[in-house]
Chains A and B, each alone.
Chain A
């Protein structure tokens, strides 16, 4: 397994609550939630940097909405 380093993370109550909820709902540890968030953020950022757009499609209505990343 790849060696890991430890860091301290300061979160607000609201952020901590979301982290807790995601951890329970996704059945992964809080560390795993944050690692997953980092992977997704990097993947999306790399594609947006290449000029691609991030779109969400409603399966029922086929309506598309673009998520703007600043």
Chain B
């Protein structure tokens, strides 16, 4: 499989300088190796600290149990699923997996196909909610942008849907997505959708 690689720019939070990064339209073995050997130990250290402080598991980062090796293997070879990764400074900074077989719920576009963001995770060292100052900013936005552009390329006109983990609700509202409320069929997570107009505004902003 040929992987498309685009150059994007992230922000180094400490220095304020921009950092060149690769946006890759696949999740390859190198990314899974980074997840296993770099993300997992970093996340484990955070979880041990949370446990030591007596923080209940319900308040831990909700993606702590995600297994990217399994998620990727499960959809191997299926046209309905696509992966994206952001690589900078020689290591994986973010991963996303999308599903192209879902339909819109937002009233103005109900029933029309969209790109559904199944999973999006940013490397532990870039996540401000995990305690330490993040190293790079812009990874999550880059992955949302990639999913939105894919929606346009597939003829879905920028339509994008996702269930948000509670810690990310504010981010999806900030980028202009419509909050369609809690979904009892999906662990009561809030469901967000992006319309054609919202996608256009989001991409102009980026």
Q: Which residues of A contact B (CB under 8 A)?
A: 1-3, 25-29, 31-32, 35-36, 38-40, 42-43, 46
Among A1, A38, A42, the residue within 8 A (CB) of B4 is A1
In the bound assembly, the distance between CA atoms of A43 and B147 in angstroms comes to 20
**Could you list 5 examples of A-B contacts with CB < 8 Å?**
A25-B111, A26-B112, A28-B156, A32-B113, A38-B79
Give every chain B residue within 8 A of A27 (Cβ-Cβ).
109, 112, 157
Majority SS at the chain B contact face: loop
A39-B156 contact, Cβ under 8 Å, with A2-B4, A26-B112, A28-B113? no
Q: A27-B109, A42-B79 are in contact. List 12 more A-B contacts (CB 8 A).
A: A2-B2, A3-B2, A32-B113, A32-B154, A32-B156, A39-B78, A39-B79, A39-B80, A39-B100, A39-B101, A42-B78, A43-B101
Report B101 CB to chain A, min CB distance, Å: 6
Contact check: which of B2, B78, B101, B109 meets A36 at CB < 8 Å?
B101
A62 CB, min distance to chain B CBs, angstroms: 14
Within 8 A of A (CB), among B79-109: 79-80, 100-101, 109
| B153 contacts across to A, CB distance below 8 A | 1
Q: Which residues in B have some Cβ–Cβ distance to A below 8 Å? A: 2, 4, 25, 78-80, 100-101, 109, 111-113, 153-157
Instruction: State how many angstroms separate the Cβ of B144 from the closest Cβ of chain A.
Output: 18
How far apart sit A18 and B157, CA to CA, in the bound complex (Å)?
21
Using Cβ atoms and an 8 Å threshold, which residues of chain A touch B156? 28, 32
Rounded to whole angstroms, the CA-CA distance of A35 and B150 in the bound complex is 14
The CA-CA distance from A54 to B109 in the complex, in Å, is: 26
A28 contact set on B, CB distance < 8 A: 112-113, 155-156
**CB distance A26 to B78 under 8 Å?**
no
User: Smallest CB-CB separation from A1: which chain B residue?
Assistant: B153
> Which A residues touch B113, using CB under 8 A?
26, 28, 32, 36
Across the interface, which residues of B come within 8 angstroms of A42, CB to CB?
78-80
The minimal Cβ–Cβ distance linking B109 to chain A, given in whole angstroms, is 7
Q: Are B78 and A29 in contact (CB under 8 A)?
A: no
Determine whether the beta carbon of B155 is less than 8 Å from that of A43: no
How far is the CB of B72 from the nearest CB of chain A, in Å? 15
Complex-state Cα separation, A43 to B82, whole angstroms? 13
A31 to B155, CA, bound (A): 9
Interface hub of A25, A35, A39 (most chain B Cβ within 10 A): A39
Task: Look across to chain A and name the residue whose beta carbon is closest to the beta carbon of B159.
Answer: A27
Nearest 6 A-B pairs (CB), nearest first? A32-B155, A39-B80, A39-B79, A28-B155, A43-B80, A27-B112
